């Protein structure tokens, strides 16, 4: 991992910068304060995946994003993770590091 001191230079010799990580962290904070208001540690990996997806598709149109999500949801079978959620099938431990 290479770091860039922005007081000295905008990017390093090989083009490395930390703008992507700063953008990801900013989106995560905005989601926490604006949408979720409380992030459960049990589902933290799901929140992180959602923010990563939003960061990757930020330049696509809303229609393209909707088609992509719909295609992904319909192409997979029943979710092992969330099937039976309303009937009490909830996580008991966080999945980070797995």
Domain that holds residue 38: 1-98
Within the chain, what is the greatest distance between any pair of CA atoms?
Answer: 56
Supply the pLDDT for residue 1: 64
Tens digits of residue pLDDT in 41-73: 888 888 888 988 998 999 999 999 999 999 988
Q: CB atoms < 10 A from the CB of 24, how many?
A: 16
Supply the pLDDT for residue 97: 61
- The structural domain count of the chain equals 1
Supply the pLDDT for residue 66: 97
CA distances 62 to 24, 73, 94, Å, are 19, 16, 31
For residues 6-19, give the mean pLDDT.
75
């Amino acid at each position: 991992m290479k770091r860039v001191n922005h007081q000295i230079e905008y990017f390093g010799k090989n083009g490395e910068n930390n703008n992507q990580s700063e953008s990801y962290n900013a989106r995560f904070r905005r989601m926490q304060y604006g949408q979720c208001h409380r992030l459960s540690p049990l589902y933290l990996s799901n929140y992180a995946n959602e923010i990563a997806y939003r960061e990757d598709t930020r330049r696509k149109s809303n229609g393209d994003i909707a088609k992509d999500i719909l295609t992904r949801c319909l192409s997979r079978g029943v979710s092992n993770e969330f099937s039976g959620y309303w009937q009490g099938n909830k996580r008991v431990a966080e999945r980070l590091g797995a």
